[in-house]
Amino acid sequence: MILDGIGASSGVAIGKVFIKKQGTSKVPNTKIENVEAEIKRFEEAKEEALKELQVLYTKAVEEVGEEHAGIFDVHQMLVQDLDLNDQVVNFITEDKYNAAYAVSEAAVIIAAMFESMDDPYLQERAADIRDISKRLIGILTGEKEVSLADLQEPVILVAKDLFPSDTIQMNKKFVLGFITEDGGKMSHSAILARTMQIPAVVGLENALTKFNNDDIIILDGKNGKVYTEPTEEMVAEWTLEQEKYRNYKEELQKLIGTPNVTIDGVHIEVNANIGSPDDIENVLANDAKGVGLFRSEFLYMDGKALPTEEMQYEAYKKVLEAMEDRVIIRTLDVGGDKELPYLNIPKEENPFLGYRAIRVCLDQPELFKTQLRALLRASVHGKLGIMFPMIATVNEIKAARKVLEETKQELLAEGIAVSEDIEVGMMIETPAAALVSDLLAKEVDFFSIGTNDLTQYTMAVDRMNAKIAHLYDTHNLAILRSIKMVADNAHKAGIWVGICGESAADTTLTETYLAMGIDELSVSAPSVLEVRKKIQQVDTQKAKASLNL
């Protein structure tokens, strides 16, 4: 039988099943008399949890590096999160819940809040809330789960979900792969699985009912498929696939230090997408020389208040100093599915079509100027590109550039140095921008095409809606024609054009993009070498001759 899930981490695993039992015992709702004593118990449990998380952080640094160990920094922040803490204390004070039950109920509310968001990255934070609540409840009740570090033989884990703390505690020697009922490609556990190179399939419906302990199965982490009751011939066949994949990964490593050049000598920039300075270690390890998209909004989403100019300056400076080539930093892209509670942006009927990104920045010039000041100050530390998101009209890009120039003149008047070699660009994410890209190209130094939103808006498809997921297709002729039109208009104006959406890493589209004349592809760090390999196999002249759009 073949079972279908979501491929979260490539690779093949062949082995016996180990089912990680989901705790079924409900936290008892016993009423308490001494509110102060119960709140103190909660505070002590938080302190214990913080100590445990620090131990996990140290282990994670050793296992997967500082970048991914940051997950446990996030967990420490969530343990101290005001919303969660206020909710727990309120349940204890007003409803006289015991601390463990209060944590359980508060976690349900906060997790549901995250799950209601449209952004898959933010949706997956619900798993983090459940993880820390599980930890707190275990401390409060004295009933902690057995660690996956205690596994004694190689197995394929099957679970309802695997929290980040589960994943990092895995004895990698004995974990061949894992399958979960819940989770998605953006979950922390999926990200860690890719970092630790453990094959994984997530989102496999009713996975816990599909297997028994010691069943022999085959897991295909790339395609999200699981084969049950395999024959000897199938095992032999997939053992060969395992070997092929190992050889493939080893071959990719040989591309480090080689150029992103096609058969006929055309150079294509392959840069990395990042969310914070902590990602740079992984970028350099995968041999990217520049950053094609620094999502600056994550600097805003990691705290309880707006990051100061100085905080932003230090973050931008760190990235610029680390990279050999250009670093493109996208200005604040908030709103839509990326909520910043402290900005008090009103709830909207359709936030993706509402008050977001450049619209927020132009409406709140002081917020905008604080970021621009930090960017301009940092520009002297490397090769900076500033990119404005969600531009739909020529007037918007002119207005953004006007604020940028005003900010630059203010800094110069204060005697603060600013680089004279800053590229200013914009994202093409809306059909409106694509249709007037000939006019927009006269206002900027480059375009970067965000295929995620461009596909969503062009096809009128909510990319989170499973019922119409088949329509969300970056290979659709309408999308490809839009991209080619943008590329043609950019080159007519003498500016370069890149792609920073997820499809930039889709190697089945690489040849098409090169035939269109795309100058840069910006991808997640682990995809850099794979895209480089594909570029080195393309003859652009032949690709252009066969392009049929």
Whether residue 531 is predicted with pLDDT greater than 90 in this model: the reply is yes
Whether residue 69 is predicted with pLDDT greater than 60 in this model: the reply is yes
Alpha carbon distance 145, 91 (integer Å): 25
pLDDT of amino acid 31:
85
Comparing CA positions, the residue from 235, 159, 230, 155 lying closest to residue 198 is: 155
Architecture of domain 35-141: Orthogonal Bundle (1.10)
**269-546 topology per CATH:** TIM Barrel (3.20.20)
Matching fold, domains 2-17+148-253 and 35-141: no
Q: Please list, in sequence order, all residues whose beta carbon lies within 8 angstroms of the beta carbon of residue 384, skipping any fewer than 6 positions away.
A: 316, 320, 326, 327, 329, 375, 378, 419, 422, 423
Alpha carbon distance 8, 529 (integer Å): 19
Whether residue 240 is predicted with pLDDT greater than 90 in this model: the reply is yes
Comparing CA positions, the residue from 11, 16, 18 lying closest to residue 238 is: 11
Tens of pLDDT, residues 120-174: 666 667 778 888 888 898 888 877 665 676 677 899 999 888 776 676 667 778 8
Task: Please enumerate, as own/partner, the contacts of 230-233 that have beta carbons within 8 Å and a separation of 24 or more.
Answer: 230/14
Averaged over 325-333, what is the pLDDT?
95
Q: Please list, in sequence order, all residues whose beta carbon lies within 8 angstroms of the beta carbon of residue 336, skipping any fewer than 6 positions away.
A: 118, 119, 351, 352, 354, 356, 357
Residue 24's pLDDT band (cuts 50, 70, 90): very low
Q: Please list, in sequence order, all residues whose beta carbon lies within 8 angstroms of the beta carbon of residue 171, skipping any fewer than 6 positions away.
A: 148, 149, 150, 151
pLDDT of amino acid 192:
67
Residue 420's pLDDT band (cuts 50, 70, 90): very high
The mean predicted confidence, pLDDT, of the chain is: 87
> Binding site annotation covers 453?
yes
Q: Please list, in sequence order, all residues whose beta carbon lies within 8 angstroms of the beta carbon of residue 7, skipping any fewer than 6 positions away.
A: 201, 220, 221, 222, 223, 224, 225
Q: Is 293 exposed, middle or buried (0-12, 13-18, 19+ CB in 10 A)?
A: buried
Most confident of the following: 70-79, 374-383, 452-461: 374-383
Comparing CA positions, the residue from 470, 473, 545, 519 lying closest to residue 268 is: 519
Which one is predicted more confidently, 356 or 523?
A: 523
> Which superfamily does CATH assign the domain made up of 2-17+148-253 to?
Phosphohistidine domain (3.50.30.10)
pLDDT of amino acid 160:
85
Most confident of the following: 77-86, 211-220, 304-313: 211-220
Whether residue 328 is predicted with pLDDT greater than 60 in this model: the reply is yes
Whether residue 84 is predicted with pLDDT greater than 80 in this model: the reply is yes
Alpha carbon distance 260, 286 (integer Å): 13
pLDDT of amino acid 320:
98
Tokens 């922390």 locate to: 188
pTM over 0.85: no
Task: Identify any residues that bridge with 7 across adjacent strands, giving them in sequence order.
Answer: 201
Tens of pLDDT, residues 30-41: 888 898 998 999
pLDDT of amino acid 434:
97
Tens of pLDDT, residues 163-210: 766 766 677 788 899 998 887 765 666 766 776 778 999 889 889 899
Alpha carbon distance 348, 354 (integer Å): 7
Whether residue 265 is predicted with pLDDT greater than 60 in this model: the reply is yes
Comparing CA positions, the residue from 326, 333, 272 lying closest to residue 298 is: 333
Comparing CA positions, the residue from 165, 241, 213 lying closest to residue 13 is: 241
Comparing CA positions, the residue from 547, 470, 477, 469 lying closest to residue 515 is: 547
Q: Is 263 exposed, middle or buried (0-12, 13-18, 19+ CB in 10 A)?
A: middle
Whether residue 216 is predicted with pLDDT greater than 70 in this model: the reply is yes
Sheet with 155-159, strands from edge to edge, namely 2-4, 225-228, 216-220, 12-20, 155-159, 175-180, 200-202, 6-9
Query: How many contiguous H segments (helices) and E segments (strands) does the chain have?
Result: 23, 16
Q: Please list, in sequence order, all residues whose beta carbon lies within 8 angstroms of the beta carbon of residue 248, skipping any fewer than 6 positions away.
A: none
Q: Which stretches within 142-187 are classed as H helix?
A: 164-169
> Binding site annotation covers 339?
no
pLDDT of amino acid 171:
72
Alpha carbon distance 404, 476 (integer Å): 36
Whether residue 25 is predicted with pLDDT greater than 60 in this model: the reply is no
Domain ranges of the chain: 2-17+148-253, 35-141, 269-546
> Binding site annotation covers 295?
yes
> Binding site annotation covers 330?
yes
Tens of pLDDT, residues 471-521: 878 999 999 999 999 999 999 999 999 999 878 988 999 999 999 999 999
> In Å, what is the CA distance from 544 to each residue of 489, 493, 540?
17, 20, 6
Beta strands of 305-451 (E only): which ranges?
A: 327-330, 384-388, 423-428, 446-449
Sign of the C-alpha dihedral computed for residues 474, 123, 277 and 60 taken in this order: negative
How many CB atoms sit inside 10 A of residue 225's CB? 16
Averaged over 443-449, what is the pLDDT?
98
Alpha carbon distance 423, 497 (integer Å): 12
Tens of pLDDT, residues 337-361: 566 666 767 776 776 788 888 999 9
Residue 119's pLDDT band (cuts 50, 70, 90): low
Alpha carbon distance 352, 505 (integer Å): 24
Three-state secondary structure readout of 363-401 = HCHHHHHHHHHHHHHHHHHCCEEEEECCCCCHHHHHHHH
Whether residue 220 is predicted with pLDDT greater than 60 in this model: the reply is yes
Averaged over 26-31, what is the pLDDT?
82
Which one is predicted more confidently, 305 or 91?
A: 91
**Residue at 93: amino acid letter:** T
pLDDT of amino acid 336:
59
Residues designated catalytic: 188, 500
Comparing CA positions, the residue from 99, 108, 7, 111 lying closest to residue 45 is: 99
| 2 touches 55 (CB < 8 A) | no
